[in-house]
Structure 1
Amino acid sequence: MLPTQNPQDVLNDESRQFALLVNSVTDYAIYMLDKNGTIQTWNPGGQRIKGYDAAEVIGTNFSRFYLPNEVAEGMPARNLRTAAEEGRYVAEGWRLRKDGSRFHASVVIDPIWVDGQLLGFAKITRDITERFEANEKLLKTQQSLFQAQKMEAIGKLTLGLAHDFNNLLAIIVNCLDLVAVRVKDPVVSRLVDTALRAAERGALLTRQLLTFGRGQPLAHEALDLGTVLAEMKSLLQRSAGESIEVAMEAEPGLPTLYLDKSQLESAILNLVCNSRDAMPTGGHVRITAAMQRISDPSVSEAGPRTCACLRVTDDGEGIPTDQQARVFEPFFTTKPVGRGSGLGLSQVFGFTTQSGGFPLLTSEPGKGTAITLCFPVSEP
Structure 2
Amino acid sequence: MTELQHPKDVFNDESRQFALLVNSVTDYAIYMLDTDGVIRTWNPGGQRIKGYTAEDVIGTNFSRFYLPDDAAAGVPERNLRTAATEGRCIEDGWRVRQDGSRFLASVVIDPIWVDGVLVGYAKVTRDITERHDAQERLQQVQHSLLQAQKMEAIGKLTLGLAHDFNNLLTIIVNCLDLISVRVKDGPAAKLIETALRAAERGALLSRQLLTFGRGQKLSPERLDLTASLRQSQEILERSVGEAVKLVFDLHEDLPCVFVDKAQLEAAVLNLVCNSRDAMPNGGTITISTGAREARDPASANGALEQHVCLTVEDDGEGIPIAHQARVFEPFFTTKPVGRGSGLGLSQVFGFTTQSGGFPQLSSAPGEGTRIVLCFPIHEP
Q: Could you say which residue in structure 2 is the equivalent of 1:201?
A: 201
With normalisation by structure 2, the TM-score equals 0.91
For residues 187-242 of structure 1, give each alpha carbon's deviation from its aligned partner in whole angstroms, at most 9, with x where no partner exists: 11111111111111111111111111111011122332223222222322222222
User: What's the CA shift for 1:343?
Assistant: 1.0
Q: Could you say which residue in structure 1 is the equivalent of 2:265?
A: 265
- Give 1:142's aligned amino acid: Q
**Alpha-carbon distance between aligned partners in 2 of 1:180 and 1:101, rounded to the nearest angstrom:** 77
- Give 2:189's aligned amino acid: S
- Give 1:80's aligned amino acid: L
Which residues of 2 match residues 3-18 of structure 1 at below 5 A?
3-4=3-4, 15-18=15-18
Q: Does 2:274 correspond to 1:274?
A: yes
Between 187-196 and 120-129, the greater mean CA deviation after superposition: 120-129
Structure 1 alignment gaps of length 5 or more: none
Between 352-361 and 30-39, the greater mean CA deviation after superposition: 30-39
Q: Could you say which residue in structure 2 is the equivalent of 1:246?
A: 246
Residues 67 and 96 in structure 2, CA contact (< 8 A), matched pair in contact too: yes
For residues 235-278 of structure 1, give each alpha carbon's deviation from its aligned partner in whole angstroms, at most 9, with x where no partner exists: 22222222111111211212333321110011001101111121
**Residue aligned with 2:232, SS:** helix
**CA RMSD of the aligned region, Å?**
2.4
Moved >6 Å (runs of 4+) = 6-9
**Alpha-carbon distance between aligned partners in 2 of 1:104 and 1:308, rounded to the nearest angstrom:** 37
Q: Does 2:311 correspond to 1:347?
A: no
Which residues of 2 match residues 71-220 of structure 1 at below 5 A?
71-114=71-114, 118-220=118-220
Structure 2 alignment gaps of length 5 or more: none
Residues 278 and 317 in structure 2, CA contact (< 8 A), matched pair in contact too: yes
With normalisation by structure 1, the TM-score equals 0.91
Change (3 A) 1:332 1:85: farther
**Alpha-carbon distance between aligned partners in 2 of 1:379 and 1:124, rounded to the nearest angstrom:** 55
Q: Does 2:306 correspond to 1:306?
A: yes
- Give 2:316's aligned amino acid: G
User: What's the CA shift for 1:85?
Assistant: 4.3
Residues 23 and 43 in structure 2, CA contact (< 8 A), matched pair in contact too: yes
% identical equivalent positions: 68
- Give 2:376's aligned amino acid: P
Between 200-209 and 82-91, the greater mean CA deviation after superposition: 82-91
**Alpha-carbon distance between aligned partners in 2 of 1:301 and 1:157, rounded to the nearest angstrom:** 26
Change (3 A) 1:82 1:282: farther
**Residue aligned with 1:340, SS:** coil
Q: Could you say which residue in structure 1 is the equivalent of 2:315?
A: 315
Between 165-174 and 230-239, the greater mean CA deviation after superposition: 230-239
User: What's the CA shift for 1:73?
Assistant: 4.4
How many corresponding residue pairs? 379
- Give 2:201's aligned amino acid: R
Q: Does 2:280 correspond to 1:288?
A: no
Residues 308 and 376 in structure 1, CA contact (< 8 A), matched pair in contact too: yes
Between 217-226 and 107-116, the greater mean CA deviation after superposition: 107-116
**Residue aligned with 1:317, SS:** coil
Residues 105 and 127 in structure 2, CA contact (< 8 A), matched pair in contact too: yes
